[in-house]
Chain A
Amino acid sequence: MSAEAVIQGGVHTDERHDSAHKHVTGQAEYIDDMMEPVGTLHAYLGLAELAHGEITKLDLADVAQAPGVVGVLSAKDIPGHNDVSPTGRHDDPVFAHTHVEFHGQPVFAVIAETRDAARRAATLAKVEYAKQHHVTDVAEAMQVDYPHVTEPLKLERGDVGTAMAGAPHRIKATQRVGGQDHFYLEGHIAFAFPGEDDEVTVYSSTQHPSEVQHLVAHVLAIRSNDVTVNVRRMGGAFGGKESQPALFAAVAALAAKRFGRAVKLRPDRDDDMIATGKRHDFLNTYEVGFDEEGRILAVDGIYAARCGFSADLSGPVTDRALFHADNAYFYPHVRLRSRPMKTNTVSNTAFRGFGGPQGLVTAERMIEEIAYHLGKDPLEIRKANFYADEGRDVTPYHQTVQDNILHQLVSELEESAEYASRRQAILEHNAANPVIKKGLALTPVKFGISFTATWFNQAGALVHIYNDGSIHLNHGGTEMGQGLFTKVAQVVADCFQVDLDKIKITGTTTGKVPNTSATAASSGTDLNGMAAANAADQIKARLIDFAAEKYSIPEDQVVFEPNTVRIGNERKSFEEFIKEAYMARVHLSAAGFYKTPEIHWDREAGKGRPFYYFAYGAAVSEVSVDTLTGEYHVDRVDILHDVGRSLNPALDKGQIEGGFVQGMGWLTTEELWWDAEGRLRTHAPSTYKIPLASDRPPIFNVNLAEWSKNREATIRRSKAVGEPPLMLAVSVLEALSMAVASVADYKICPRLDAPATPECVLMAVERLRGGA
């Protein structure tokens, strides 16, 4: 074996997604593709047709008598708790019982021989309501004193009152930030199989199998050890399958136990979009005080969120909005408050960025305000306010920013994207063109990595080596397309120094690794990669002990080399060595575990180190706007992003590009629209418009900051990549804003809200032309 030999598919290589071959052939199995046992039944949900009111009559007789129907289930049929709240607040009923709190809330389920029969039967319910006033908008919710769904958070540092009063310039305004539907291509689905005694097995399209397991037990009044939840892969999730799958799983499991048959529940796309939570929309009120140079002196902000009818994950989501209300900027004096408002809408939930984007976008708005007020390039204002050395390195939550790389990253991007010359060219273009206006913006991202609920920062893995040398890998993370399974397998391949194809990647199941956290908060690889490495290292340690003892050599003479093990001067193939170890009765299986070190958070005090580290990035976007109609194109985007030492640059780049385009959709064409009755009317791809191929930037230069290395001891010094790139798309919003600002000679901050649909852009143009 030559000295240069390396394994195939180790860390820091462009390994392709483990299921790529199966994706393109259609052989990758999603839950709806599974073979159905004979007698499989199908459940369908009946949804409320009122936004708020008492249920005065629930008559399901016609439903029960419809062709093919086997039975109906409503709140009274639940043996355990009628609740799937992910935070134990008991405010998230499976079925509305006496009270309906949003249009589209599940009221009952019908179980039938076919999905079509169940779906048709569900329309036959006779439900009567006593209507009550409903509130769908967050501003109205505050006005009428609707309650908070969970405790607000306050972050405070310094003396805001004095600093604001003494600031040479002060601006106070509001920003509306729209929500977003996940639009995972595979909708929600659960497929439950009844077992012996109280046992039930559920295949659930979920990012959080452990929570689904616990909530199914909670609803069915059984124990967690009676429930097994499995998921091999999801057809996209983006946060929408963290807390939301529990309801579907619980109904399928309940029906499976009740009727003794396998039961599948898959809502139609429209019902999926109506009945499941989305990204929170926010109404942010900010006041910023600053000096002549554009340096921020004080910030006072209120971040109000449309949470929907229950808490769900609104607490940590609104917390994270505050944690990112600074983005990359030092606020010498700051007070940030969240207002998690109840509304009569579906309960909003996790979505890539988890509130962070909605906080961050207002930080960038304040930068714009300052820039337009002072007549400067917003980039200049950004640079003047970046976190810096001691004295300018503490966040509003009192964590010191130790790993800031934005100065270098932004200056490299500024140069490679030719920011200055392009900005000049655009200013000239705009002066010469009355109708088509252009805009350019560079915005940074600094994103905190770790669950802010410290206990979630743990993970488990299970690694077996069979006596033929093949390796079985399992961990608590779930695969939703992000390539987690591939990356963790690369880590294990690296640990044992075997080719990647020796490792069998297996589906997530609560039966192998218990008490897992959601695959969320960008943490999948950080946590599960470390847990898997820990399992592999345990087995390696036993193997080294065994070889050192058997061959009477020091432990450091047992070395795992590519597909071989060197014992002193002798080399054996990995398979041969494993067989030998097995014959000597070495334990070839290990459960690995990891918990993130050093993090702590005191929510009451608003102080701590909630984040292990930060991930950084920046983007430059150029747009063209038609000021007659508000239509626009994104012309070019340049991104430089920090993933530390990438485990898999190809997959990381995929996350960056995909995250950016998804973020662009959030800020441009994806609009959630409720009518006067409180009905969401954009609940299908015909009415809710996510980006298409032709919306992606035609020039799209995406690079990794290859020099970056995580200063913390993360898995192979990599950094998390799932969420941070989404916020790079704020550069598109600000570029649109610049194009709009051009109609008033850049003297007025356009205050372009999101989503900046063509309508929103045209109305801003009109406003600025009118001088406001």
Chain B
Amino acid sequence: MSTPRTEIRFLLNDRDVRLSAVGASDTLLDHLRLAQRLTGTKEGCAEGDCGACTVLVGRRTGDQLVYGSVNACIRLLASVDGCHVVTVEHLVGSDGALHPVQQALVEHHGSQCGFCTPGIVMSLYALWMSTLAPSVEDVEVALQGNLCRCTGYQPIIDAALAVTEHGSPANDVLVTQRGAVLERLKSLQDGARVEVSREGDMAILPSNVSDLAAVLTEYPGATIVAGATDVGLWITKFMRTISPAVFIGHLEELQQITITDHAVTIGSGVTYTQFEQVLASEFAHMDEFWSRIGGWQIRNMGTIGGNIANGSPIGDTPPALIALGATLTLTSRAGRRVLPLEDYFIAYGEQDLQPGEFVETVTIPRPAPGCLNAVYKISKRRDEDISAVCGAFSLTISDGIVEAARIAYGGMAATPKRASQVEAALVGKPWTEETVQRAMAAFAKDFTPLSDWRASAEYRALSARNLLRRFYLDHQGQPVRLVRTSAA
């Protein structure tokens, strides 16, 4: 192996930054505010839930340069190696003119206290880069990760819909300088492993997947960091040490999506946002559910592999993927092994992952034609909330008889778990109200949920049962879904 590089390099607005004293736990936000004095980016919560710290991170993939909004508070500094970081300070034109997004917010009285505003500007900027004619729903999705406590959001929505009245992308700095930025990013990348540290707090960015396996052999206890949407909180909230930390968010090999006749295989580094490209065509039943995972920033950062690997009982994707019959490929220097996703979760805080191993891919069978699938998430707040209960269903019905059933729940046990008693009560039975009623009674045998601040045990048990009923009624064509009214 060639000598590791001992500095990270990135582009910050229009400046090159090279840093060697970088700790694994250093956040991008602290770097921006404390070291760079770019104080337009605010800290509201330090856990990726309020969006006041939203910045854009652009990453080069071949000749593509893709920008995404992220939460700088939990985005770790080491992970922006090779990227273009764009803060609110970059938007104002050299003549001092406001960016169209900013001008629209001013005209529509879109700020009151102003503290959330730079983050909202950045989220709407990201939206404007993806579409010039957003729908109200597009705007709501773009703002899922941004809290505003003052305005009630209406003027912000109005502003977002009117951005094009205040200017065109022709003068936008990320449009006019795209080629130049690509070249500059290209020149920063050398394909080397990166090792940086500060006071013993070490971050390693392996050069590729085989190097990752090598690093994990060398440091079997290392913390693997993908999107840092969970690990970030270990740092900002629990002040835990994650060193040595192995960053994998930059590894393109882990971001591949392969579609075969029978399955979709995704690299563990595929973000929620990247997965959206196969949602509509392969997993349309998860479309609405998917947009309720985190906020936009979190979906740009977080990975499906990370959501699985950290073993949380309330992760959103495991129940959905277990119901579909997904398998994991676990890799280490010793080789690969494949196991059904549900077998990965052994107990609370315990997963089937050996030292030196990492989740390399997730393989999700493509739903067979005629198979009934649904995923339902119940949370206190519709968007950007953690599930109280998440139920996923995959049923094969033939001639009115339930031939096969895979049902998995999150939030109901110490791990994401299949409802095997419920499945048993359905399989081989006619797909009728009566069967459903009987199967609903079987939930008590599968789950003994807990009470906490998200929901009581009673509510979890009751709503979990009722989700099966919703699934049935939905299939019967009864109106059981809340439909969001759209503005006249």
Contact = CB atoms under 8 A, between A and B. Distances in A.
Interface of A: 16-17, 19-30, 32-33, 119-120, 123, 182-187, 233-238, 268-270, 433-436, 480-483, 624, 626, 628-633, 635-636, 650-651, 653-654, 657-662, 669, 671, 673, 675, 681-682, 684-687, 689-696, 698-700, 702, 757-759, 762-763, 766
Contact of A16 (B87, B109, B118, B481): B109
B105 interface: yes
A236 B482 contact: no
Interface string B124-157: 0000000000001001110110111111111111
B479 A685 contact: no
A629 B378 contact: yes
A481 B462 contact: no
B395 interface: no
Interface string B193-221: 00000000000000000000000000000
B152 A658 contact: yes
Contacts of B52: 185
B487 A654 contact: no
A686 B384 CA distance: 8
A422 to B, nearest CB: 12
Given A25-B91, A184-B113, A628-B480, A119 B239 contact: yes
Contact of A236 (B146, B150, B462, B483): B150
Contacts of A681: 452-453
Given A694-B382, A757-B380, A25 B102 contact: yes
B50 A685 contact: yes
A235 B113 contact: yes
A702 B158 CA distance: 14
A24 B46 CA distance: 21
B482 A693 contact: no
Interface residues of B, number: 92
A269 B51 CA distance: 13
Interface of B: 33, 39-47, 49-50, 52, 87-89, 91-92, 98, 101-103, 105-107, 109-118, 121, 136, 139-141, 143-144, 146-157, 236-237, 239, 376, 378, 380-386, 388, 452-456, 458-459, 462-463, 466-467, 469-470, 473, 478-488
B148 A185 contact: yes
B114 A19 contact: yes
A653 B147 CA distance: 19
B463 A628 contact: yes
Contact of B144 (A184, A692, A702): A692
B109 to A, nearest CB: 5
The majority secondary structure among interface residues of chain A is loop
Contacts of A757: 380
Contacts of A482: 112
A119 B43 CA distance: 16
Nearest to A672: B453
Given A629-B378, A654-B151, A696-B153, A235 B45 contact: no
B339 to A, nearest CB: 30
Given A685-B147, A759-B456, 13 more contacts: A23-B114, A24-B111, A28-B117, A32-B33, A123-B239, A236-B150, A685-B45, A691-B153, A691-B381, A698-B136, A698-B485, A762-B459, A763-B458
Contact of B114 (A238, A481, A686): A481
B419 to A, nearest CB: 17
Contact of A686 (B98, B103, B383, B386): B386
Q: In the complex, which of the residues B40, B112, B466 has the most CB atoms of chain A within 10 Å of its own CB atom?
A: B112
A687 B454 CA distance: 7
A25 B381 contact: no
B149 A238 contact: yes
Contacts of B479: 433, 435-436
A673 B463 CA distance: 20
A11 to B, nearest CB: 17
A632 B481 CA distance: 10
A24 B118 contact: yes
A185 B485 contact: no
A660 B153 CA distance: 11
B91 A233 contact: no
A634 to B, nearest CB: 9
Contacts of B106: 16, 20-21, 24
9 contacts: A24-B105, A24-B121, A25-B91, A235-B115, A480-B113, A662-B152, A689-B385, A696-B157, A698-B484
Contacts of B139: 693
Nearest to A689: B381
A694 B383 contact: yes
A26 B112 contact: no
Given A185-B113, A269-B45, A671-B453, A629 B98 contact: no
Contacts of A24: 98, 101-103, 105-106, 110-111, 117-118, 121
Q: In the complex, which of the residues B39, B114, B121 has the most CB atoms of chain A within 10 Å of its own CB atom?
A: B114
B463 A629 contact: yes
Given A629-B466, A654-B155, A269 B47 contact: yes
Q: In the complex, which of the residues B47, B103, B381, B385 has the most CB atoms of chain A within 10 Å of its own CB atom?
A: B381
Given A658-B112, A698-B136, A25 B40 contact: yes
Nearest to B139: A693
B179 to A, nearest CB: 26
A185 B117 CA distance: 10
Nearest to B38: A26
A26 B482 contact: no
A9 to B, nearest CB: 14
A484 to B, nearest CB: 11
Contact of A30 (B105, B115, B469): B115
Given A25-B91, A631-B382, A20 B109 contact: yes
Contacts of A20: 105-106, 109, 111, 114
B136 to A, nearest CB: 7
Q: In the complex, which of the residues B88, B109, B236, B378 has the most CB atoms of chain A within 10 Å of its own CB atom?
A: B109
A233 B113 contact: yes
B150 to A, nearest CB: 5
Contact of B482 (A186, A234, A436, A694): A436
A628 B102 contact: no
A632 B105 CA distance: 30
A635 B486 CA distance: 8
A695 B381 contact: yes
A394 B305 CA distance: 66
